[in-house]
Every structure is written in structure tokens, then in C-alpha cells.
């Protein structure tokens, strides 16, 4: 197969320098030397920071674990504004090898695109990640408006040094352009946010130049190309993308690549990867999707890139699953779930069929994108069955039971009833044992109307204002996260829930195990 090489791969930006492919999607590696000495490696990320959406006033932090020989130095930067030691904390855990950029009491003006660098004498690795801070009271931040006017990387701080100005130049991953060349215009903004590009005028100009070059190459092998549909997860655990194209030569070879590596596929048998062709329509599928299938997929015809799309598998779970619902005929039924991390959209299924917004269904998402709701309107007997919510590779199901109309007897008017109830623990605290230097999460579930006020205590001392603990209360699920467990965290913990109708409390004990001694090499 003839394959067209990228110009950047043929002509590095400087003698002895070149780009390397990371095993982790979204990591860009630059190698400073042509050949690495024996036993030496360029920096890379084994755990990269992930995008974060959080209300202002909370503790925000990015985490990263890097590898390389010699050991890389880690530094952080942001596109707009400065990283000063008054508002940011640099933390390194020598046991786990984890680097953290912590932002206690995060503010709206800290919303930005951040960069994490790992450098040693043989190269550097770069990851970009976004922080979105939800403003309380719908305030309009001047800093957020200014951040959209262009690219400006501020002072870069490490634990012990300031990065020289000549290294502040923005580096764009080639994968960024590959995704834009095949993306719909409505997806430009999200792709730019993912790679830290805020100068849209420059991006559109550069993209137009690359489109002209790409179309000239495609015209050599393709007569017509349309209906490009990016890859997406299906409710049956598979993923697929499709395009329509007319080949100039019917005998042309079609190849599929994942992260630059060609993958085998079969058009007839049920294997891991398949490519079906029906007339001008090509459908590529992945059966039994797992986390290792995430990455950049590209379709080529005789060495010419035709279509690129990225499969993202969110690391998400259900904090609160949907529950069985019983509804009278002609009433509305409501299913609701709470996710462990924000998602703009999840898949809803009704009796094994996809459910979309329309006359029959209302599909809504909360402002923080954690609470997802499905309303089945005007229920009929034929609507009863199993409904499911699918988020990434996780799913949960529940029954909808619809009861028909019943004959009602006329009874004297009854007294008005109240739905108010004192607080109670539907899921109590459990005893925890945690190794030293690890993260520990303690959770319980509380019900009550009016909504109870929650207070956490350790050894009878309130923790609600202690920034060393990350405390949340989402739909009655109350959680406290200790980011870095130490011996001082051992003790008795208590949750108190109270409203005008009563007060309840629940206690547990946290035991912190000491570090095991290991022989250093």
C-alpha cells in the first residue's frame, strides 16, 4: 500500500528533533535527539490530567503521572493569566509518583485551558486540559471574556524553576488538524477546547489551507465524498462510523488505522473490527468495545487520508441509578440518575429501542451535567417495560409499571396530607480502611423533606469549612473525599442531617494503614 507521509514528519522543525507517538491519546511528545542512548527514554504520561467542571469555591485539582529516564521535571501553565503560588499549589507524592496542581477555593477567573509539561534532556511531553468553573449567582467574568480573544500563555511555574520565554510557543498536535478536517462546524469549538486553541480566526485560516491540500489529494482516488458520521458508542456495546464515497477505481484498497497502526477487519464474519460496504455507503464497526479501543481512527484509500474520527470512552459510573416507576394511565413517569462526572448526553433506551426528545419523551440534563432525567409523557399501557440509561460502558435499568384506570368510589373529603418527613439515612456510613498516601471516599445517602442540612464531623469537630476535605451533596448522596490520607486522618467521623422536623446522625471509623517499607534500588 502506498501511504502519503505528513510534511512535518519528513522535515522536523529543528535538526535532530522529531515527534513521537504516545500510548496515551492526546499526549504530544517531542524528541530532542535523533537516537536515544541505551536505557534512556523521552518523557511520557501514564496518567494524564482530565477536564474538570466544578462550582466555584470548591477544591479543584489536576493529576498527572509521568515516566522517562532520566526522571522528567513537571511544570504547569495556563493560556490566559498567571499561575501564582498564592492561588495554586504544586504537590508531588513520591510514593505514587503523582503530580498535582491544586486550586483551593477555585474562582471563575481560573476557568482556562491548562498545560502540563514533562521534560528531560532527551525530550518533552505535553498535555492540554480544560477547567470550567461554574459561577454562583450567574456572574459575568471579565477574565473569561478576555480569555477568548487570543492565545497567550502566561508565566510557567514549576516546583523550583520558571520556564524560559522561548518555550512558551504553542504546540499543536497533528491529531488536532486531522479531527478538524473531518469534523462538522458545530464541533469546532469543543475540539479547540480539548487542544487548548482559543484563536479561532487563526485556526479557521489554517484549516482552510489544509482542506484545500487534502481535497486535492482525495480527488486522485475519490469522485464524491459526503455524509461523514463520526464514531459513536451504540446501546448494544458496539461503536461505528460511516461515510458515503464513490471510488474512481473500484479495485482501490481501503485501510483502517488506529493511532497510526493499521488494524485488520473482515467484511463477512463477526470479528472485533468490520467494514461493510453497501453501494456507496461504508460502515466501520467495533464489536465489544472496551477502554483499550479509545483512540483516533482513520480511513485511507490507496494511501490517501479520507476520514478521521476519535473514539472517546468516558470514565464514568452511576452514583444514583434509575429506579422502578409506577404510574397511573395518562400520568407522566420520571426516571432520573446521577453520574460520577459530567456528561453532556447519555443514551436512554425504552424496551430495547433508543429514546429521543420529542412529543412522547422529555430528555433533560442539569446545569452541572451530572443529573440526567427522562420523562415518559402521558403514559399508556403499551409504554410499560424496561427502561435503561447508558453512560459510556456503564448502564442501569428499571421497570415502568403502568396501571389502568380504576373505578373510584366517592368518599367524603379527606384531610390534607403533608409530604414533609424528618431526615433519615437510607444508606448509612460504612467503616473504612485506607492505605497511607491514598485517596479515601466516605459516602452515605440521606432522605428528608425539607431537604436536610448536612454537617460532617471528625472527633466532634466540624469539617464543612476545612479545605483539606472535598465535601459534596448531590440528590441526597453525601460524600467526603480525603485527597491524601495520612495518619492524622484516622479517627471517628460523623454525619449529622437535620431539618425542622428532626435530627439524625451516623458515625463510622477510618483506620489508616502505615506505609510498607520497600528496598530502594
The answer to whether 77 and 124 have CB atoms below 8 angstroms apart is no
Given a cut of 90, whether residue 336 has pLDDT beyond it is: yes
2.60.40.10, 3.40.50.720, 3.90.1150.30, 3.30.565.10: which CATH number matches 318-403?
Answer: 2.60.40.10
pLDDT at residue number 148: 41
Higher pLDDT, 514 or 298: 298
Residue ranges matching CATH 2.60.40.10 in the chain? 7-171, 176-311, 318-403, 421-513
Phi and psi at residue 224, to the nearest 5°: -145, 140
Whether residue 235 has pLDDT greater than 50: yes
pLDDT digits (tens, 9 = 90+) for 16-36: 567 777 878 788 899 888 889
Give DSSP secondary structure letters for 280-344. TEEEEEESS--GGG-EEEEEEETTEEEEEEEE------EEE----EEEETTS-EEEEEEESS--S
- Please report the pLDDT score of residue 120 as a whole number: 93
Q: What class does CATH assign to 7-171?
A: mainly beta
List the Cα angle 70/45/177 in 5-degree steps: 120
**Has residue 11 got a pLDDT over 80?**
no
pLDDT at 171: 63
Backbone angles phi, psi at 494, to 5 degrees: -140, 140
- If one compares 362 and 238, the residue with the highest pLDDT of the two is 362
C-alpha 309/C-alpha 179 separation (Å) is 6
Mean pLDDT of 136-157: 44
Question: In which element (H, E) is residue 110 found?
Answer: none
Q: Which distant-in-sequence residues (6+ apart) come within 8 Å of 373 by Cβ?
A: 334, 335, 336, 362, 363, 364, 365, 366
The pairing of strands 52-55 and 123-134 is parallel
Residue 516 scores a pLDDT above 70: no
Task: Give the model's confidence band at 99: pLDDT under 50 very low, under 70 low, under 90 confident, else very high.
Answer: very high
Would the pLDDT of 392 be above 70?
yes
- Angle formed at CA 379 by CA 374 and CA 381, multiple of 5 degrees: 125
Give the model confidence (pLDDT) of 196-208 as tens digits.
888 888 888 888 9
Residue 75 predicted with pLDDT over 50? yes
Give how far Cα 282 sits from Cα of 255, 299, 339, 353, 437, Å. 12, 10, 34, 24, 51
The dihedrals phi and psi of 328, each to the nearest 5 degrees, come to: -75, 155
pLDDT bin (cut points 50, 70, 90) of residue 405 is low
> Would you place residue 345 in the very low, low, confident or very high pLDDT band (cuts 50, 70, 90)?
confident
| Confidence band, pLDDT 50/70/90 cuts, at residue 118 | very high
Beta-carbon contacts of 352 under 8 Å, excluding residues fewer than 6 positions away, are 386
pLDDT recorded at residue 163: 42
Which pLDDT belongs to residue 520?
Answer: 43
3-class secondary structure, 495: strand
Q: What pLDDT score does 151 carry? A: 41
Q: Confidence class of residue 290 from pLDDT cuts 50, 70 and 90?
A: confident
Which superfamily, per CATH, for 421-513?
Immunoglobulins (2.60.40.10)
Identify which has the larger pLDDT, 484 or 151. 484
Domain 176-311 belongs in CATH node 2.60.40.10: yes
Query: Angle, nearest 10°, between helix axes 200-218 and 188-195?
Result: 110
Of the listed ranges 5-14, 52-61, 114-123, the least confidently predicted one is: 5-14
Q: What pLDDT is stored for residue 158 in this prediction?
A: 44
Burial class (CB within 10 angstroms; exposed 0-12, middle 13-18, buried 19+) of 460: exposed
Q: Residue 108: its pLDDT value, please? A: 86
For residues 357-384, give the mean pLDDT: 90
Which grid cell sits at 79? 493560556
Query: Is the predicted pLDDT of residue 517 greater than 90, yes or no?
Result: no
Residue 9: count of CB within 10 angstroms of its CB: 10
Place of cell 394511565: 329
Across the chain, what does the average pLDDT equal?
82
Mean pLDDT of 445-455: 91
| Sign of the C-alpha dihedral computed for residues 245, 250, 256 and 257 taken in this order | negative
204: left (phi over 0), alpha (psi -120 to 50) or beta: alpha
Residue 283 has pLDDT above 70, yes or no: yes
Which one has a higher pLDDT value, 166 or 93? 93
Separation between Cα atoms, residue 85 and residue 501, nearest integer Å: 46
Prior bond of 445 cis (ω within 30°): no
Average pLDDT over residues 222-236: 83
Q: How confident is the model at residue 152 (pLDDT cuts 50, 70, 90)?
A: very low
Within 13 A of 425's CA, how many CA atoms are on the CB side? 17
Which of the two residues, 356 and 25, has the higher pLDDT score? 356
Average of per-residue pLDDT across 160-173: 48
147: CB partners within 8 A, 6+ apart: 79, 80, 81, 111, 112, 198
Locate 107 and state its grid cell. 474562582
Half-sphere exposure at residue 146, Cβ-oriented, CA atoms within 13 angstroms: 10
To which H or E segment does residue 96 belong?
none
**At 209, phi and psi to the nearest 5?**
-65, -45
Task: Please give the residue that has the higher pLDDT: either 292 or 357.
Answer: 357
In DSSP terms, 354 is beta-bridged to 349
Q: Does position 431 have pLDDT exceeding 90, yes or no?
A: no
User: C-alpha grid cell for residue 5?
Assistant: 507521509
Surface-to-core class of residue 488, CB atoms within 10 Å of its CB (0-12 exposed, 13-18 middle, 19+ buried): exposed
Amino acid at each position: 500500500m502506498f501511504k502519503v507521509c505528513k510534511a512535518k514528519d519528513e522535515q522536523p522543525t529543528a535538526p535532530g528533533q522529531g515527534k513521537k507517538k504516545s500510548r496515551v491519546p492526546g499526549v504530544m511528545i517531542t524528541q530532542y535527539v535523533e537516537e536515544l542512548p541505551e536505557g534512556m527514554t523521552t518523557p511520557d504520561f501514564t496518567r494524564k490530567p482530565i477536564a474538570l467542571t466544578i462550582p466555584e469555591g470548591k477544591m479543584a485539582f489536576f493529576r498527572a503521572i509521568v515516566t522517562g529516564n532520566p526522571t522528567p521535571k513537571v511544570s504547569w501553565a495556563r493560556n490566559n493569566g498567571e499561575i501564582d503560588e498564592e492561588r495554586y499549589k504544586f504537590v508531588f507524592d513520591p510514593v505514587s509518583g503523582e503530580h498535582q496542581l491544586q486550586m483551593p477555593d477555585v474562582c471563575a477567573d481560573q476557568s482556562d485551558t491548562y498545560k502540563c509539561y514533562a521534560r528531560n534532556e532527551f525530550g518533552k511531553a505535553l498535555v492540554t486540559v480544560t477547567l470550567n468553573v461554574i459561577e454562583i449567582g450567574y456572574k459575568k467574568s471579565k477574565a473569561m471574556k478576555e480569555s477568548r480573544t487570543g492565545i497567550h500563555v502566561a508565566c510557567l511555574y514549576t516546583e523550583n524553576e520558571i520556564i524560559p520565554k522561548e518555550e512558551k510557543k504553542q504546540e499543536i498536535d497533528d491529531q488536532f488538524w486531522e479531527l478538524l478536517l473531518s469534523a462538522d462546524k458545530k464541533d469546532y469549538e469543543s475540539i479547540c477546547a480539548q487542544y487548548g486553541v482559543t484563536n479561532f480566526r487563526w485556526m479557521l485560516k489554517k484549516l482552510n489551507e489544509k482542506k484545500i491540500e487534502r481535497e486535492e489529494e482525495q480527488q486522485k482516488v475519490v469522485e464524491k465524498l459526503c455524509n461523514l458520521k463520526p464514531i459513536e458508542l451504540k446501546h448494544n456495546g458496539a461503536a461505528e462510523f460511516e461515510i458515503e464515497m464513490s471510488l474512481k477505481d473500484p479495485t482501490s484498497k481501503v485501510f483502517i488505522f488506529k493511532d497510526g497502526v493499521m488494524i485488520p477487519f473482515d467484511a463477512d464474519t463477526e470479528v472485533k473490527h468490520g467494514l461493510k460496504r453497501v453501494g456507496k455507503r461504508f460502515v466501520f464497526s467495533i464489536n465489544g468495545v472496551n477502554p483499550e479501543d479509545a483512540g483516533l481512527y482513520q480511513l485511507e484509500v490507496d494511501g490517501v487520508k479520507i476520514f478521521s474520527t476519535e473514539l472517546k470512552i468516558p470514565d464514568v459510573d452511576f452514583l444514583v441509578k434509575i429506579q422502578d416507576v409506577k404510574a397511573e394511565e395518562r400520568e407522566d413517569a420520571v426516571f432520573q440518575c446521577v453520574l460520577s462526572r459530567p456528561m453532556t448526553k447519555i443514551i436512554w433506551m425504552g424496551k430495547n429501542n433508543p429514546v429521543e426528545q420529542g412529543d412522547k419523551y422529555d430528555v433533560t440534563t442539569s446545569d452541572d451535567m451530572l443529573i440526567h432525567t427522562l420523562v415518559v409523557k402521558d403514559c399508556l399501557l403499551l409504554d410499560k417495560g424496561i427502561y435503561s440509561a447508558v453512560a459510556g460502558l456503564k448502564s442501569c435499568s428499571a421497570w415502568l409499571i403502568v396501571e389502568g384506570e380504576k373505578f373510584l368510589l366517592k368518599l367524603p373529603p379527606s384531610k390534607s396530607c403533608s409530604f414533609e418527613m424528618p431526615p433519615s439515612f437510607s444508606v448509612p456510613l460504612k467503616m473504612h480502611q485506607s492505605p497511607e498516601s491514598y485517596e479515601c471516599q466516605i459516602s452515605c445517602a440521606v432522605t428528608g423533606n425539607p431537604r436536610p442540612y448536612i454537617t460532617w464531623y471528625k472527633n466532634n469537630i466540624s469539617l464543612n469549612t476545612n479545605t483539606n476535605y472535598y465535601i459534596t451533596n448531590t440528590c441526597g448522596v453525601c460524600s467526603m473525599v480525603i485527597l491524601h490520607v495520612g495518619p492524622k486522618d484516622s479517627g471517628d467521623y460523623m454525619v449529622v442531617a437535620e431539618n425542622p422536623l428532626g435530627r439524625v446522625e451516623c458515625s463510622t471509623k477510618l483506620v489508616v494503614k502505615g506505609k510498607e517499607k520497600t528496598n530502594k534500588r
